[in-house]
C-alpha cells in the first residue's frame, strides 16, 4: 500500500488526550470508520495480505476489533469468532487474564469456536503493549488453531507491543 494512502488514513485518526485515563493519548478511529471511503480503503488494504492464503476464520477482539474483523471476514469469505469480556458468551468458554497499559482485563472464547487445524487471523484495532493480543493468541492456540497472522489497523510502535507477540506474523496498516 502506498504511503500516500496510509497518510490519508492516518489523517482520519484523531488524538484524544487523557482517555480513558490521565496520561493516555487515545487514538480514535471513529472518524476513519465514519467515512465510507477511508473505511473501505483500510479494510481492503488489511484484507489484501490474506487473499488466497486459505483463511478459515477471522477472530475479532472486543470491542473495536469486532468492527474490523467483521468486514475482513466478509471480504475473505470466512467465519467470524468473537473474543469477549467475561460473562458475555452463552456457552462453555476458555478465559485468559492479561495486563493493559492502564490496568488488567480478561477475554473469553467459546470452547467449540475453532476446530484444531483451522487457519485463523486475529484482528484488533490497535496494538499498544501487546497484552490483549498475547492473551488472544494464547486462547486461540489453546483451541488448536493455526494462526496465520495477527493484524491491526494501528500500531503504537513506541510501546513495543510486538515483543509480547513474537513468533506471530504481525501486520499493522498505520504505525505511530
- Averaged pLDDT, 117-129: 97
* Domain boundaries defined on the chain: 53-175
CATH class of domain segment(s) 53-175: alpha beta
Per-residue confidence (pLDDT) for residue 65, from 0 to 100: 97
List, in sequence order, every beta strand (DSSP E) within 3-74. Answer: 14-17, 25-28, 57-61
Which pLDDT does position 150 carry in this prediction?
98
Catalytic residue positions? 64, 101
pLDDT of amino acid 101: 65
> Cell digits for 46?
488489511
- What value does the mean pLDDT take over residues 140-158? 97
Q: How far is CA 10 from the centre of its chain?
A: 17
Query: What pLDDT is attached to residue 21?
Result: 87
**Each residue's pLDDT tens digit, 16-59:** 999 988 988 999 999 999 999 999 999 999 999 999 999 999 99
**pLDDT band, very low/low/confident/very high, at 1 (cuts 50, 70, 90):** low
> How many beta carbons lie within 10 A of that of residue 26, not counting itself?
14
pLDDT at 8: 96
15 pLDDT higher than 90: yes
How far, in Å, are 147, 153, 165 from residue 94 at the CA level? 17, 26, 20
- Per the prediction, the chain carries an average pLDDT of 95
Is residue 94 classed as helix, strand or coil in its secondary structure?
strand
Q: Is 78 exposed, middle or buried (0-12, 13-18, 19+ CB in 10 A)?
A: buried
Query: What's the whole-model pTM score?
Result: 0.94
CA triple 1-156-4, angle to 5 deg: 25
Look at residue 100 and tell me whether its pLDDT is greater than 90. no
176 three-state secondary structure: coil
Percent of the chain with pLDDT over 70: 98
Q: Where is 8: in which H helix or E strand?
A: helix 3-11
Amino acid at each position: 500500500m502506498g504511503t500516500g494512502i496510509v497518510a490519508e488514513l492516518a489523517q482520519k485518526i484523531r488524538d484524544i488526550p487523557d482517555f480513558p485515563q490521565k496520561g493516555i493519548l487515545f487514538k480514535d478511529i471513529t472518524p476513519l470508520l465514519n467515512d465510507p471511503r477511508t473505511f473501505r480503503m483500510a479494510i481492503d488494504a488489511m484484507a489484501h495480505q490474506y487473499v488466497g492464503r486459505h483463511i478459515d476464520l477471522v477472530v475479532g477482539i472486543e470491542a473495536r476489533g469486532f468492527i474490523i474483523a467483521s468486514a475482513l471476514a466478509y471480504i475473505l469469505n470466512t467465519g467470524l469468532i468473537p473474543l469477549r469480556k467475561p460473562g458475555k458468551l452463552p456457552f462453555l468458554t476458555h478465559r485468559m487474564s492479561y495486563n493493559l497499559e492502564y490496568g488488567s482485563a480478561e477475554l473469553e472464547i467459546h470452547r467449540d469456536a475453532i476446530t484444531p487445524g483451522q487457519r485463523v487471523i486475529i484482528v484488533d484495532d490497535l496494538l499498544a503493549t501487546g497484552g490483549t493480543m498475547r492473551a488472544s493468541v494464547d486462547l486461540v492456540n489453546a483451541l488448536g488453531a493455526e494462526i496465520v497472522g495477527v493484524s491491526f489497523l494501528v500500531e503504537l510502535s513506541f510501546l513495543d507491543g510486538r515483543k509480547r507477540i513474537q513468533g506471530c506474523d504481525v501486520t499493522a496498516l498505520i504505525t505511530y
